[in-house]
Homo-oligomer: A and B are copies of this chain.
Amino acid sequence: MASTETVTPKPAGRTILASTIAKPFVEEVTGGLTKLDFKPKLVGFLANDDPAAKMYANWTGKTCESLGFHYELIDVNKNELENELIKANNDDAVNGIMVYFPVFGDSQDQYLQQLISPEKDVEGLNFLYYHNLYHNVRFLDAPTNEQKSILPCTPLAMVKILEYLGVYNKILHYGNRLYGKKILVVNRSEIVGRPLAALLANDGATVYSVDIHNVQQFTRGDDLSAQRHKVIDLDQNEYSIEKIAPLCDVIITGVPSDNYKFPTEHVKYGTVVINFSSSKNFNDDIKLKAGLYVPSIGKVTISMLLRNLLRLIENKQIRLAKEKK
């Protein structure tokens, strides 16, 4: 009997870890810390019983402390969260506030989200910040333009990742650096998917945004003639995942389910593939297809969170200096 040899296929592409991408931002943040004469304090509120949320909260806590920030995790009954948030808003010792959503799991969560003072909103979840994102407004204090607006952590992390991976082309004009790129985003939540699609389209990409209901296209037009993206609904038969995925340069997923797996067979060879869900949205065979594969992004996101925290402190210092004058 002839011996059979199994050939394990070798990926042509690379898997890139979030920790690698996060490195310069972690350095930026720790460098920023040395310029302060105090240790910034971030407070996280946990008001659900989900053990996964608790683990995530502990992980963010450890990361913050290890980088030199003071972190306090407050366990609170969900019906007490509003009062606790107001206390933290008014507490001068607190520099940043985050909530581990979902709390109620419905639109009461949006009320709570808006309740976090924009001056302490490290995740950038306030309406003001989303509005500025959608409208490409970079500063909070036009026309002086000294205080920079905050971007929501995860969409911001994604932009930094795409820059690192070379998807943003620096030879193109600033603001058009995704021109020609087709990007599929599977998730259209208000927290990440929709703002992300808008951000990428504002930078020149053609974005296909998929959620369980339909497929939309975000674009500034074929020639980027529009100043800001437009959204159109696409025909779901003509623009199914099977048909769009093979056309895309980048595939980004954020499906919060362990059961969901993006169909590898529809990914063209060499695609940039990024998963921002805490669930694994791709099977391991994606490595045989993807040019660059980023299996998770949490470490980049948390560096953006701390970057936002420093920015909020800087904005406050600018405001206080102005008031003194």
Task: Report which of B114, B230, B232 forms a contact with A114, defined as CB distance below 8 A.
Answer: B114
The residue on B at minimum CB distance from A114 is B127
Say if the beta carbon of A224 comes within 8 Å of chain B: no
Closest to A190 in B: B107
The answer to whether A190 and B106 have CB atoms under 8 Å apart is yes
**Interface size of A by Cβ–Cβ distance < 8 Å?**
21
Bound-state CA distance A82–B127 (Å) is 14
What's the nearest-Cβ distance from chain B to residue A192, in Å? 12
Compute how far the CA of A106 lies from the CA of B187 in the bound complex, rounded to whole angstroms.
13
B110, B134, B216, B230: the one within 8 Å of A110 (CB): B110
In the assembly, what is the distance between CA of A82 and CA of B233, in Å? 15
Please determine whether A108 and B194 come into contact, CB atoms closer than 8 angstroms: yes
Expressed in whole angstroms, the Cα–Cα distance for A108 and B79 within the complex equals 25
- A107-B110, A190-B107 known; A82+B134 contact, CB < 8 A: yes
> Chain B residues with Cβ under 8 A from A106's Cβ?
190
8 Å CB contacts to B: which residues of A81-120? 82, 106-108, 110-111, 114-115
Residues of chain B lying within 8 A (CB to CB) of residue A107: 107, 110, 189-190
- Asked if A69 is at the interface of the complex by the 8 Å CB criterion, the answer is no
Complex alpha-carbon distance, A108 and B131, angstroms: 12
- In the bound complex, residues from chain B placing their C-beta under 8 Å from that of A18 are none
A130 at the interface (CB under 8 A from B): yes
Q: How far is B135's CA from A115's CA once the two chains are assembled, in angstroms?
A: 12
A231 interface residue (CB < 8 Å to B)? yes
**A106-B115 Cα distance, complex, nearest whole Å:** 20
- Provided the pairs A110-B110, A114-B114, A130-B111 are in contact, do residues A79 and B190 lie with their beta carbons within 8 angstroms? no
CB A255 to nearest CB in B, in angstroms, measures 16
* Min CB–CB distance A46 → chain B (angstroms): 17
Interface members, chain A 219-267 (any B CB < 8 Å): 230-233
Once the chains are docked, how many angstroms separate the CA of A223 from the CA of B111?
29
User: Which residues of the partner chain B approach A189 to less than 8 Å between Cβ atoms?
Assistant: 107
Check if B108 sits within 8 Å of A190, measured CB to CB.
yes
- Neighbouring B residues of A127 by C-beta, 8 Å: 111, 114-115, 127
**CB atoms of B114 and A79 under 8 A apart:** no
Query: Nearest chain B CB to A209's CB is how many angstroms away?
Result: 11
**Can you list 14 A-B pairs, Cβ within 8 angstroms, ordered by A?**
A79-B231, A79-B233, A82-B134, A107-B107, A107-B110, A107-B189, A107-B190, A108-B190, A111-B127, A111-B190, A114-B127, A114-B131, A115-B127, A115-B131
Residues of A within 8 A of B (CB): 79, 82, 106-108, 110-111, 114-115, 127, 130-131, 134, 189-190, 194, 216, 230-233
11 new A-B contacts at CB < 8 Å, known A106-B190, A110-B110: A79-B216, A79-B231, A82-B134, A107-B107, A108-B190, A111-B127, A111-B130, A111-B190, A114-B127, A114-B131, A115-B131
